Amino acid sequence: MGPRRLGLIVGLGLVGIGLGSCGGVAPVVPRQIVLKQAWEIESGDRVAGQLVTGSLGDISVKLQGIRLRAPFSGQVELAAKGFHCIYFSTPEVPAYLFRYCGIRQPRLGPIEAGAVMGRGKHIHFATLRRQPDGAWAMVEPSDQVLERSLNQPAAGLRL
């Protein structure tokens, strides 16, 4: 058996092993929410063929190479709508949901305070509050939560 054929057999075997190990991975289901406000143009829409990456109610921040961090221990989920958006929720602030858009390589699932949630060149941050009917409403953004998301974790905090 020549080296070329051996390489092909080994390569196909590795592909088979890789595909076989995918069977147990559950697909990620983006979180759908009902938002009280509806804008004509929202993140993820296109205008004149151009992608809209922010919307009314968002605060836009140029990250300049820093990583986006979890402001508290909580949960990160993909958002069903928007341009590369995630939702962050935490039992420490139970009636609120924090949306970050423009996020690349998001870390989904449970997360510790200070751990990296993702990266991006520009992010768009919004604060949502749960209403009595279960829908969500955009409210004034929390500068404290945004600041915690942008700062390095305190010394001794594990990542």
Q: pLDDT (tens digit, 0 to 9) for every residue of the chain, 159 residues total?
A: 555 544 444 444 444 444 444 455 678 889 888 787 878 888 888 999 998 888 888 899 998 878 999 999 999 999 998 889 999 999 999 999 999 999 999 999 999 999 999 999 999 999 999 999 999 999 999 889 999 999 976 654 443
User: pLDDT value at position 20?
Assistant: 45
Cα separation, 132 vs 46, whole angstroms: 32
User: pLDDT value at position 34?
Assistant: 77
Residue 85: which of 68, 73, 62 has the closest Cα?
A: 68
The CATH class of the 55-151 domain is mainly beta
User: pLDDT value at position 17?
Assistant: 42
Does the pTM surpass 0.85? The reply is no
Cα separation, 76 vs 86, whole angstroms: 7
User: pLDDT value at position 53?
Assistant: 84
